[in-house]
Amino acid sequence: MRRRQWATLAAIAVIFGFALYVSLPGTPGLPFEVAGRDLSDLRFRQGLDLQGGLHVRFQASPPPGQQLQDGDMDAVKRIIENRVNALGVAEPLIQIEGDNRLIVELPGVDDPEEAIRVFRQTGQLLVINTGFDFIDEGTILPADPSQTVLRGRDLRDARVGFDSLGAPMIEFDLQPDAANRFQTYTASHLNEVLTITVDDVVISSARIEAAIRESGVIRGSFTADEARNVAIQLRYGALPVPLEVVETLSVRPTLGRESLELSLRAGVVGALLVLIFMVAFYRVPGLVAALALAVYASVVFAVFKLIPVTLTLSGLAGFILSVGVAVDANILIFERTREELRSGRAIRGAVESGFNRAWTSIRDSNISTLIICAVLFGFGSGGVRGFAVTLAIGVAVSMFSAITVSRNLLRLAITWPALTRPRLFGAGAPAGSEA
């Protein structure tokens, strides 16, 4: 063993230790941030089908004659975000997909039906008399019909304006009948406070300074963009375009936990079977492959946690499958080594040339798998993409574990003379028996 090989082994040990530390459940994580991601939180991200929850895909479907405008989807996203936040779900995912789709994922929701009902709310605007109290922005204020002065449908238009100091504000116009009502009301409630809510969330409170007829302004501490968004919400009273549900998936957390436990158990049993097979068939190299497989599993899991990859049920199946396939490179190498031994080479030379000659096969075959992963990622959605990512990571890591890790471990093993008998390499036939 040369010094460089000891250094490589030490590096492998460090990587293995680090991967184990990261991949253990309940790991305290790493005390720093990388690219804005806090690495002290290294929980294993489970997909909806594992932890339960709700996935809904909406599609904006403008009524005939109406076109989807720029910014409509942003407004939709904002409104849905408000509603989701009102639900109090941890780590919701809300993203725009393509031109006219919105994906909402609410992990761990116990009652998906309730959540869907909340989405269906019409995004009601209310102007409520709150006596002399100013209510903080963002407060949840349930509707009280007796104190409600105006509703969304009373509005004719709303837009962003700027006051004399350049601060953004929202200007609004009322429908004619509402304007009459509002004038009478404001004239008799001077100095009282009106609070504006959308979907029961307070947007601003303002004192009635004078009787308001058909138009007025809302001032608050908002930026021009926020004012624009509020104006959009006011203008439409609800979503700027109707949303159609094109896909729903709801999984009870109990089913998710069950799937997770069953898959993990199957994975452990499968991995053990592979280990037993490798040791029984290839002996010393098989033992080395078993160790390399342990390195493989913990590195892959650590990568999943660090990136982080959200593991779905199919992704988990892909990972488990990759454990069976990860030994492929080892098998290629050991078969080559066996052939070399049978043709009469000494152990050391046989091991080295086994690695060298198997390399092109390993490279070429893995590239074809990576091509498929790219296609799956490009054309798939959700679960399919998750599967592609886990498979690709598995292929990449297996090259490291099967080649770097097992090569160096095997070099170490054959420095021990007792381990160098050809029989211990699964090459049972005496040298030269086969061409």
Partner 1 sequence: MFAITSRRGWWYLLSLALLLPGVIALLTGGLKPGIDFTGGSLIQLRFDETVTQQAVQAAAVERGYPGATVQLTEDRGALVRTPPLEVEAKDALVSAIFDHVGPGQELSFSTIGPVVGAELTRAAAIGVAVASALILLYVMWAFRRMERPVVLGLAAIGALLHDALFLLGVFALLGHVIDVQVDALFVTAILTVIGFSVNDTIVVFDRIRENRQRHLRLPDAQRPDFEQTVNFSANQSLSRSLNTSLTALLVLLALIVLGGPTIRLFVVALAAGFMIGTYSSIFAASSALVSWDRRDVPRAWERFRSRLTLVR
Give, as ranges, the residues between 88 and 117 that touch partner 1 (CB under 8 A): 112-113, 116-117
Taking CB under 8 A as the criterion, the residue among 108, 357, 399, 404 binding partner 1 is 357
Taking CB under 8 A as the criterion, the residue among 27, 361, 404, 420 binding partner 1 is 361
Give the type of residue at 251.
Answer: V
Least distance in angstroms from the C-beta of 288 to partner 1: 15
**Per-residue binder mask for partner 1 (CB under 8 A), 131-170, x = binder:** ----------------------------------------
Taking CB under 8 A as the criterion, the residue among 187, 372, 429, 431 binding partner 1 is 372
Nearest Cα residue to 358 out of 291, 295, 403, 293: 403
Give the type of residue at 130.
Answer: T
Spatial separation of the C-alpha atoms in residues 45 and 308, rounded to whole Å = 7
Give the type of residue at 105.
Answer: E
Nearest Cα residue to 386 out of 323, 309, 326, 321: 309
Nearer to partner 1, 19 or 275 (CB): 275
Please give the residues from 279 up to 308 whose contact with partner 1 meets the rule CB under 8 A: 281
Nearer to partner 1, 21 or 377 (CB): 377
Please report, for residues 28, 41, 109, the alpha-carbon distance to residue 31 in angstroms, rounded to integers and kept in the order given.
9, 9, 30
**Cβ-based neighbour number of residue 324 at 10 Å:** 14
Nearer to partner 1, 141 or 295 (CB): 295
Tell me phi and psi for residue 250, to 5 degrees: -125, 130
Give the count of residues interacting with partner 1 (CB under 8 A).
71
**DSSP string of 119-133?**
HHS---EEEEE-TT-
Nearer to partner 1, 141 or 403 (CB): 403
What residues contact residue 52 under an 8 Å CB cut-off, 6+ apart?
107, 108, 109, 110, 251, 252, 253, 254, 255, 256, 257
Nearer to partner 1, 7 or 372 (CB): 372
Nearer to partner 1, 121 or 263 (CB): 263
Least distance in angstroms from the C-beta of 327 to partner 1: 5
- Check residue 68 for interaction with partner 1 (CB under 8 A): no
**Per-residue binder mask for partner 1 (CB under 8 A), 173-212, x = binder:** ----------------------------------------
**Per-residue binder mask for partner 1 (CB under 8 A), 303-342, x = binder:** ----------xx--xx-xx-xxx-xx--xx--x---x---
Please give the residues from 385 up to 404 whose contact with partner 1 meets the rule CB under 8 A: 387, 391
Three-state SS for 57? strand
Least distance in angstroms from the C-beta of 316 to partner 1: 9
Q: Which stretch binds partner 1 (CB under 8 A): 25-33, 69-77, 126-134, 376-384?
A: 376-384
Nearer to partner 1, 76 or 293 (CB): 293
Least distance in angstroms from the C-beta of 388 to partner 1: 8
Instruction: For residue 172, give the H/E element and its range.
Output: strand 168-174
Spatial separation of the C-alpha atoms in residues 229 and 223, rounded to whole Å = 10
Tokens of 37: 């991601």
Rounded to 10 deg, the angle between the 72-87 and 224-236 helix axes is 90
Nearer to partner 1, 76 or 333 (CB): 333
Least distance in angstroms from the C-beta of 80 to partner 1: 16
Please report, for residues 48, 317, 395, 399, 406, the alpha-carbon distance to residue 292 in angstroms, rounded to integers and kept in the order given.
31, 20, 14, 11, 6
Please give the residues from 36 up to 65 whose contact with partner 1 meets the rule CB under 8 A: 49, 57, 59
Nearer to partner 1, 174 or 295 (CB): 295
How far from chain centre, in Å, is Cα 352? 42
**Per-residue binder mask for partner 1 (CB under 8 A), 239-258, x = binder:** -----xxxxxxxxx-xx--x
Nearer to partner 1, 150 or 251 (CB): 251
Nearest Cα residue to 351 out of 374, 366, 330: 330
